[in-house]
Structures are given as structure tokens and as C-alpha cells.
Structure 1
Amino acid sequence: MTIRIFTAIVFLILIFTSTLARPDWVNLTGAETSPNIAEIYVLDDHVKLVLEIYVGNLEAFDELIPDDWLKDSSIKRAPVEERLQNFADNKFQFITDTGEKLSANLILLEPRLRIDRKSRFAGKINPYTKQRIPEAPEDKRVLYVEINYPFKSKPETLTIIPPLDEEGRALVSIGFIAYHKSVPIIDFRYLGQTAKLNLDWQDPWYTKFDNKNLTRHHKYPLMLYLYVEPRQVRLESLMRISDIAELTGFNVEDFNASVEDKHQLLIKHIKNYYANKETLQIDGDSFKPDSIRVEFLNATLSGLKVIDVTTAVDKYSLLVGVSQQYLIETLPQKIESRWEFFNQRIDRIPVIVTDPVGPLQGLIDKDDPEFGWQNYLKKYSEPVIHPVEDETGWSISIPFIGEIKLFNQMPDQQEALSIVDGVLENVRIAFIEKEPGNFSRELGKVISAKQADVTKNELAKLFSPKVTGGAVGAVQAFNDVQIVNLQELNNPDGFSTTVNGSAKISARHWGHVDQRLIKFQILLDLIEVNKQWHLADLTVIDIKESK
């Protein structure tokens, strides 16, 4: 049991430390690589079914095969309309709560190549099921079909019946996804048997299948995240736009306002609402946020996606993220908070608290809305800058006077690498500081004051890059740092070097970790002042993400 749990944990670590170019949520069912794919869209007056039928499974959907695809032209078949009706009545069925079987209208039918729905873990072992996650067929040929199933009145439920054998099991493997209007009801799952869908026309977010295995990863309309990090605490919330409007009392009176104007008004309203709220207690004292960031997101098959304020998105799938930042000097001993809003549809809210050790998930409800963090860290130490004191050149020690440097000397490769490593690490630690005054003070211990502003801007390209969702990433560690060349400076107390290396960039927000590995080449000018090495100048020659 211990080995199995450990394997699962390692596998999950691999999943949730995905790079920014990859999704923040990974489906382990393998349904998206199933030979046959069905996309189901429940719209206002019809159900739209989109099929990708694997060329090796065409017999299971024989009613849809065009006549000119048959090798034997003498085979007598029913007319297309009759075959299509038989398909709707007996093969791929949609039955309403009144017992009506929806008829079918063929919209499009043509040969295509299947959509490449890449799965990072296809072919690997699922640690929970111990089964190999399937890969997509090598033969990419499919019959692409679009069919509409119209209805006159909105049904309360839809029973979905795929092609079944005599024992009620799917004739072929079908991976499927379902939407109610713009809201994904599930992640990719297998449609292996009859599935009943309960439709909520007032708010499609709450449409769901009877089968609890048919669900989506972002199913909660309210989610809370508390991040406890060096120099800052962040409280982030994800809410439906209807919920945050109710919580904050937001209302747009100008119905002719553009999408961008409405979103900008909401952002301003939310910031004003939270600006004077003392939401957190840190070590017994109440604090207002030092800064507030608002983003718009929607739930997709690969996780949450941040969208631009100008983008029009169906209100049912739109989420509003609010990030409140609280600046701290050191990690506190205790953080407390109380959530005040629960809507009428849900009485529990997931809360994920993340500290330097990792995340811990819990739930709060109306009767117990308190949450927080207690400092149980045993091995944590505050990040501090350490002077880089690698000596180069020749020095002598004179009694009563001390050590005097006779002359400077260019460092060798190993000495230069040690100096570069130390200076880069100190700059990384300086960028942990969030309060502007503290940041300038700490960075001033590392860089020369002559070109501080110019150097700061260049350093930011490497040490605080913008990441997905408008957040700012941070360097977690440098790897494979190499000295390319060494050159003398006009200043005899320093040297110039071109450096290659890689860095792990990380940012936590909205409940997941964005990570990327970048490769860089930089030009550094380093000077020794009072026996300590400082950064005089830095130029970023190249930065690119490592695939």
C-alpha cells in the first residue's frame, strides 16, 4: 500500500509541475485518445452531436457510411433519411424526460483526419488503476459527422444511449465530452453505457450527469486559495460572475456598454470593495490588502484559462479571480480568515492552503466558514543574501593593519563560476522581496549603484518574467551554469563573462503551479568592492523556453 501511494504521489507531482505551455490539469482516463470521439452540445433548441468515427469501427455506425464508400455497389440499402432515423432510434439515442426519442438531421459528413488531442501520459501506467493509459490509433483516418437532434420544448433530462450490444455495453470505445451551452459538463470520459443528464436551464453550470464519475475537474462555483510565501501572503478567490456581483453589489446600469467597459467597471468595483476590507488576521492583527489583482477566467478541458477583458464569454462559463496580496517581513505563526459568502446552490467551498512545504486541501461551509494556516514548519529558514567573497589576485597580511591586496588577477574558470553562482543566487533572493523599499535595499547589496535602474530592468527579464494569467514568475533555482568566456574590464577590480545556463521559473496562482524551464545566455560585468563581488552590469543576450 505504501509503495502504491508513493507511486501515485510521484505521478501527481509530475502532473502538477507541468510547464506553462502545458495544461494545468491532466486527464488520466485516456478517453480523449479513444478511437472514436463524440462531442455533445446541448443548445437552446437542439442537441448537436459531432462524431469522429475511427476507420476501423465503421461497421458499428453503418447507417452513416456513404453509399459511394461501399466496395460492392450492388448492395441494396435503405434511403439516407430512413437510415438516419434508424440511427437516431436505435444507435445513438437522445431521450427526453417525457420519453420522446429525438429525431436526427444530418448536417455534415466527410472523411477527415482525427483531431490530435495530445495526452502527455498516453502509454504510461495510471497509478490508481494500474492500467496503461491508451494511446490514439496510429491510423488517423476518421468519418467526421455532424448531426442535430432538434426539440421544441427544453427537456429537464436527456438520456444518452450510445451504440450498445445485447448486454448493454458500448459496441466500440467512445470517448466523449458534453457541453450545456458554453459550459463543459464533464472532462473527457468514456461513454460506455446509458448516461442520464439533468439539465439546469436557469444556470447550465449546475447541469450534471446522474453518474458521479461523469464530472469535470473545476466543478465548484466558489474556490479559495491561501498562499503563504516568503515576504507575502496571498488570498485568492475564484467565483462565478453572478456570485461576485451579488457579493459586492455590482450592477451595470448601461446595458449598451461594451464587454470591455463592463469588465473594466467590474474590476474597479471589486478593487474598491476589497480595498478597505480587513479579510485576514496575521498573528492576531487584522490587515487590509496591499494590492488587489482581478482576472477573468473560464474553465476549459485543460484547466482554467485567463481571458482578456475585451473577450466576450458566455456568462455561464465566466469566472472572476481576485488576488489580494499582503506584504510580510517574515513568515507569521498564524493566519486566520472567515469567508462570508455562500450562494443558494452550494453550501461547501474548497480551500487550498499552500506554504513552502506544499498544498493542503480542506472544505468550509456555512456553519464553519473559518480557515487559515498554522506555522508548523520545522526546517524553514528565511532567504537572506550572503556576501560573495571569493578572492582573486595576491594579498598579504600585515600586523596591526590587516590584509592588503597587492594586485588583482583575472579569475580562472572555476573561480569565475563560483563568483557567478553566488551573485546570481543573491539576485534571486533580492527578487523575493515584494515591498519596493525592501527590494531596492536588498538588490543594492548585490548590484553597483551607478546603473541600478538600467540593471533592474534587464534583471527583471530573467528574474521576474510575466507568466500566464498576468502573474509574475520567480526563479526557483539555476542549473547547468557554464562560463563561456572571460574578459578583462577597464576596472582592474573586475571582469566580464558570458554565461550559459538554465533556470526553473515558477508561479502559483488560481490553484495551480505554472512552471517552465528556460535556457539563457547573459553577459555579466562583475566588480570586487571591499572584498565582496557585486554585479556592475547585466545584458540578456538570449532567453528561450526549453521544450
Structure 2
Amino acid sequence: MRIDRLIPLVVIIFFISIPHNSEADWINFTGAELSSTIAEVYVEEDKIIVVLEIGDRDKEAFADLISDPGESADKDALERRKRFFKEGFVILADGKLLKGDVKLVEVRERVQRPSRYNKPPGGQKPSKYVTYVEIEYPLTNKPETLVINPPLDEKGYTNASIGFVVYHKSIPVIDFRFLAPGAELKLNWKDPWYSKFDNPNLKRHHSSSLMSFLYIEPFEVRHEILVRLKDMENWLDLGFKDDDMLGPDQKKIIETELTEFFLEHNIVEIDGKIVKPIIDRVQFVKPNLTGIQVLENSQEVEYLSAIVGIILAYAVAGIPQQVTVDWDMFSDKIQRIPANMIDPAGPFPYYLSPDDNVLTWNNYLKNFSMPEISELNVQDSMRNINIPVGTAVSLIFFIAIAWQIRVRNNKGEKSKLPYILLVITLVAGIVLYPFLRVSVTDHLPTTMVLNKDQSTFILQNLLKNVYRSFDFKYEEDVYDKLALSLDGDLLSDIYLQTRKGMEIEKQGGARARVKDVEIIEATSESLPDELGLKFHGVWNVSGTVEHWGHKHDRVNQYEAEITVKPVDGFWKITNIDLIEEKRVQPI
């Protein structure tokens, strides 16, 4: 079997890896990111930069801005622009009007942004092309407040549909929201993380500098923590300044210090026993408009805005009955820690405080069953014949008595007893038919013919076994479980690829937990020269990647030729030839 065909089956299916620069799946529910016009505002120390994407429906509201004065410096056009900055798109810094300087105006294709909608709620689908405008507002000092007002009509209503977002020194202050007049942004120049609007609806989804996520899954408990380095100064002296840029070497030092710290803090107990964690990974991340983005190790990050994700793993035998986290990280600024407990039934949000600092998960799962991995007995998939022994014995007696009655009648002998016995055996045969049955399995012929149900049964059980093997944390456990359904070179090859997959995971990839395997098509034929079957299968694999409170669903479809042979009385996959793999959109 070609290894290059095996790699996508193992690494992509079993480890639906999310690379360093990919993002979690938080989606904005306002629909503002699909507005006809988009405004991105970047607040820096010496200037404010506004980037506008003006849709066709809003050109009239921005007509004074996008009219080009040309090389001749058309005075009328220049006056219209000045009026626009006074009466149109207005920015006030500490109550004073800022003067904008237009740097660029051109037609561009609209930037495609992640959204759960095809168009804004209640609105039309935005135009494909926009008028792109860059405006710069110089700052003579660092203002304490900003007010951003959209163009208004004569009645004081917004006359353009504008979705906007604001960054303060690269930190997003809000997610995409609709721009309305009057909202005041309070700027925290010492720590832009705490810059915020006075309107509580204008905020970002990732607003806390310290967060806790407790995952309870089969065979594993994970405690995942997001922490901002600046706030770690309450417990650790990391030795960096706010404007320091962190490269790979500095990151490694910080990761080592954080590893040592979190091994000793926020103690986890599982079923009443303190369990030592395994540091699964430590990664630099950053919040953005779609959730949490994992940064490349080579990517520099400013210390002031740096956020680190720590994942501590605890191997368990199955599903525990109780898990507790004794949270001990509070400060003058951090008095409330958002926490989330996620188990197979769903998320359970909680807030920790100095007076209520123990996060407790209890097992209230009612209908949850642990995934089972067991060898598939060859006889279990063969045709079974159930013989009703009681009925068969009654039939034999019935035939014998009937023969005796005929013989007696030929001799002229008359007696009621044989007729009574005949009726008794007939009734007994009918009554005993559901009972006293013996199941006899059909023998395993050299040439096997399976129906669709039998083919589906074998393929689904073997594939599920393989996928479930990756629920285990340790390599040796994964190998032992794979050996229940794989054999020969395939077992060794998949195991080696598994180890590579685990390395990808440690370096920033994310392991997917397979939730379901659905067989779409399964047919089989006997191998020509040996005992066994060759399946042609098409199946869907549903899996999820969950980290730091975000869930990413994946459904992949695979088509392959799979060779299955009986080994020591059990079906084992010995070869896989992948034909096609494609992503299927989750329902």
C-alpha cells in the first residue's frame, strides 16, 4: 500500500489538524460584518487610521468624501471633503473635531469576512465591489475619549448601513457592530486591553484576561487556560517591558516559566484524588474577529498584548464522577474568572471569585455510553441459523405416532390413545417453537458472499474501532486498540503516522474527536486467491475540535478499497487504498 495514500487517511481523518495560523470558530451573530459599508478604525499613539469599504447603496451618503478633487485641486471638491469631516463621518477626540486626510480612494473587491449569514439580517446582500478609502487623522496628544459618528440625514438618523470595528494598538476593542451616533470610547493608554465603549453592547467576545475551560471527555480530562502575560505579572516577574517584542527565544523562556507555574497552581482533583497534570501544550495566541488565533512560533508579538494558552491534560480510565479545580489566581484587577465546564452533554458556564473559587463538575450524564472498542468476531458477522429444537423433536414424535396410527388402521386395530398423543405432539410443537432454540453459525467458506447489511456491519464496526482508538492519550494505548482491528504492515504504518500526528498536535495542531462514522455505501467481494474480503466503501466521519471554549465541527467523506481478512477468528483490516477524500458541510 502506498504510504502517500495512507497519510491523508490517518493524519487528516484522525487528527483533523488546525495549523498555527488557523482560527477557532467564533462567529459574530449581529451580521454587521456584512453591512453595505465597513469601517475599520485603528487607534495608534500618533494617529487614527480609518479604512472604509463603501458599498454602492451608501455612495450618496459618502459622496462628498469620494469625489476626487483631481490634480487641479478642485476647490469645490476640497470644500465638500472638509464639510464631510465636520458633518459626515465625524471623529471627536476629547470633544474636539479631528481633521481627516484622505490617503487613498479606489475601487476594490469587497473583503470576504466570516459570517453565519448570507446577507445582513433584514437587509440586502452587499455589492461585490466597494469604494476603498484610507483616511488618516493626526493626533497631537493621546486622547482619553473618542466619539465616532456616522453620516446622518436631516432628521438625525444614520443614512448609511455601516458595520464597524475598532482596534487600539492592535487589540480589538469590539467585534463587528453597527455604527450609531454618540457612543464614547474610553481609551486606556497604559493598557489598551481595558479600552472600552460606554455602551455595553459595544464589546468584544474575548473580554477577560484570564479564563478557565474544563473539558471532561472519555479517557481524558483537560484544563485549558487563557492568560494575558501582562496580567501574569501579579504572580510572576517575567522581566519584560510593555513595548518589548517577543520572538522565538523569548517565547521559549516564557513558556518554560508558565509550565513550571501552572504545574503547581489551580490543583485538579479527580474523584477525590489530586492528579498530576501533563503539560499538553503552551501556545501564544491572540483574539481576533473570529475567535482565538494560534500564532506561528516565528511570529513576533508585543508583550503588552501577548496572550498564552495552556492546556493541562489528565488521563482517566473512562468518565469520572467528579472533577474539581481549586482556582487560586486572583488579583486586585481580576476578581471574577469566567469558567466553562464542557462534557458530552454540553457547556456549563460558571464564574469563579475569591469567595467561590472551586470549580466543581459532577457526573450527571444519564444516557451517555462509553465508546467501546472490541475485536469483531468472524462468526458474529456470518449467517446464523436458529433451530427450534423443541419443535423439531415434537415433529419427529408426530411423524412416528402418525405412522403407528396408519399401521394400526391397516390391521383393523382401533384405539383413541394414539390420536390423543398425536394432538399433544402437534400442540407441543407449536407451543415450543419460540423456545428451546439452538443457534448454529454458518461455516466460513472459501468464497464468501455478504449481503449489504453484513458488509455495512463489518465495515462500520472496524472503522469505528480504528477511530475510537485515538480517544486514548498515550501511544501504547493507541497501539493496543488499533491492533484489535488492524493487522500486518498496515498496523505499523498507521501507528507510525499516528506518532507524527501527535507531534503535529504538540506543535500547535489540534486533535479531532470523532463523534460518528456513517456508512454511505458498502459492497464486498471475496479475495480471489485467499480467504478474505475486499470492500468498496464510502463513509462520512463527523468530528469536533474543541479548545478554549470554541467548537469546530468537521465532516469528511471518504471512498476507499479496504481489504479485510480473518486473523485468529477476528476480522482485521490489512490494506486501505484511498480513492477520494472531500469535506462535507456539516448540517
TM-score, structure 2 normalization: 0.78
Structure 1's unaligned 5+ residue stretches are 1-18, 70-75, 125-131
Superposed displacement of residue 80, structure 1? 4.3
Does residue 134 of structure 2 align to residue 134 of structure 1? no
**Residue of structure 2 equivalent to 1:322:** 310
Provide closer, same or farther for how the CA distance between residues 340 and 105 of structure 1 changes in structure 2, counting only shifts above 3 A. same
C-alpha separation in 2, matches of 1:524 and 1:463: 25
Moved more, 33-42 or 532-541: 532-541
1:342-361 → structure 2 map (5 Å cutoff) = 342-361=330-349
Superposed displacement of residue 393, structure 1? 7.5
1:243-254 → structure 2 map (5 Å cutoff) = 243-244=231-232, 246-251=234-239
1:83-162 → structure 2 map (5 Å cutoff) = 83-97=80-94, 99-117=95-113, 119-123=115-119, 132-137=121-126, 139-162=127-150
1:133-212 → structure 2 map (5 Å cutoff) = 133-137=122-126, 139-212=127-200
Moved more, 434-443 or 323-332: 434-443
Superposed displacement of residue 434, structure 1? 1.8
> Which one-letter code corresponds to 2:513 in the other structure?
A
> Which one-letter code corresponds to 1:513 in the other structure?
K
Q: Is the 8 A contact 2:269 2:325 kept in 1?
A: yes
Provide closer, same or farther for how the CA distance between residues 406 and 63 of structure 1 changes in structure 2, counting only shifts above 3 A. closer
Superposed displacement of residue 157, structure 1? 0.6
How many percent of aligned residue pairs carry the same amino acid?
A: 33
Superposed displacement of residue 277, structure 1? 5.3
C-alpha separation in 2, matches of 1:160 and 1:436: 56
Superposed displacement of residue 211, structure 1? 0.6
1:221-249 Cα deviation digits (max 9, x unpaired):
11110000000000000111222354344
**Residue of structure 1 equivalent to 2:465:** 426
Structure 2 counterpart SS, 1:197: strand
**Residue of structure 2 equivalent to 1:368:** 356
Structure 2's unaligned 5+ residue stretches are 1-16, 387-439
1:302-351 Cα deviation digits (max 9, x unpaired):
11111111112333443210000000002111111122213433321111
Q: Is the 8 A contact 1:455 1:538 kept in 2?
A: no
**Residue of structure 2 equivalent to 1:7:** none
Superposed displacement of residue 490, structure 1? 4.3
C-alpha separation in 1, matches of 2:128 and 2:443: 72
C-alpha separation in 1, matches of 2:568 and 2:90: 81
1:265 to 253, 257, 267: 253
Q: C-alpha root-mean-square deviation of aligned residues, in Å?
A: 3.5
Does residue 536 of structure 2 align to residue 507 of structure 1? no
Moved more, 274-283 or 212-221: 274-283
Provide closer, same or farther for how the CA distance between residues 320 and 489 of structure 1 changes in structure 2, counting only shifts above 3 A. farther
C-alpha separation in 2, matches of 1:404 and 1:178: 72
Superposed displacement of residue 420, structure 1? 1.1
**Residue of structure 2 equivalent to 1:47:** 48
Q: Is the 8 A contact 2:519 2:537 kept in 1?
A: no
Structure 1 counterpart SS, 2:188: coil
> Which one-letter code corresponds to 1:453 in the other structure?
S
Superposed displacement of residue 459, structure 1? 7.1
C-alpha separation in 1, matches of 2:200 and 2:246: 39
Q: Is the 8 A contact 1:278 1:287 kept in 2?
A: no
C-alpha separation in 1, matches of 2:361 and 2:206: 24
C-alpha separation in 2, matches of 1:336 and 1:240: 23
Structure 1 counterpart SS, 2:61: helix
**Residue of structure 2 equivalent to 1:525:** 563
Q: Is the 8 A contact 2:31 2:119 kept in 1?
A: no
C-alpha separation in 2, matches of 1:341 and 1:121: 39
Does residue 8 of structure 2 align to residue 29 of structure 1? no
Provide closer, same or farther for how the CA distance between residues 483 and 326 of structure 1 changes in structure 2, counting only shifts above 3 A. same
**Residue of structure 2 equivalent to 1:440:** 479
Provide closer, same or farther for how the CA distance between residues 277 and 66 of structure 1 changes in structure 2, counting only shifts above 3 A. closer
C-alpha separation in 1, matches of 2:273 and 2:250: 36
> Which one-letter code corresponds to 2:348 in the other structure?
L
Provide closer, same or farther for how the CA distance between residues 485 and 466 of structure 1 changes in structure 2, counting only shifts above 3 A. farther
C-alpha separation in 1, matches of 2:562 and 2:503: 18
1:56-95 Cα deviation digits (max 9, x unpaired):
33332232242579xxxxxx97444433332222222222
Superposed displacement of residue 496, structure 1? 2.6
> Which one-letter code corresponds to 2:550 in the other structure?
H
**Residue of structure 1 equivalent to 2:516:** 477
C-alpha separation in 2, matches of 1:247 and 1:379: 43
C-alpha separation in 2, matches of 1:242 and 1:370: 24
Task: Name the larger-Rg structure.
Answer: 2
C-alpha separation in 1, matches of 2:119 and 2:266: 50
1:240 to 228, 235, 241: 228
Aligned length: 511
Structure 2 counterpart SS, 1:263: helix
Provide closer, same or farther for how the CA distance between residues 158 and 446 of structure 1 changes in structure 2, counting only shifts above 3 A. same
Larger relative CO (CA 8 A, sep 6+): 1 or 2? 2
TM-score, structure 1 normalization: 0.84
1:175-213 Cα deviation digits (max 9, x unpaired):
111111101111111112222110000111111111111
1:54-69 → structure 2 map (5 Å cutoff) = 54-66=55-67
Moved more, 283-292 or 204-213: 283-292
Structure 1 counterpart SS, 2:81: helix
> Which one-letter code corresponds to 1:318 in the other structure?
A
Q: Is the 8 A contact 1:396 1:406 kept in 2?
A: no
> Which one-letter code corresponds to 1:136 in the other structure?
K
Superposed displacement of residue 256, structure 1? 9.7
> Which one-letter code corresponds to 1:419 in the other structure?
I
> Which one-letter code corresponds to 1:486 in the other structure?
E
1:148-185 Cα deviation digits (max 9, x unpaired):
11121101111222222344321222111111110111
**Residue of structure 2 equivalent to 1:4:** none
Structure 1 counterpart SS, 2:60: helix
**Which structure: greater helix fraction?**
2
C-alpha separation in 1, matches of 2:442 and 2:552: 49
C-alpha separation in 2, matches of 1:413 and 1:247: 65
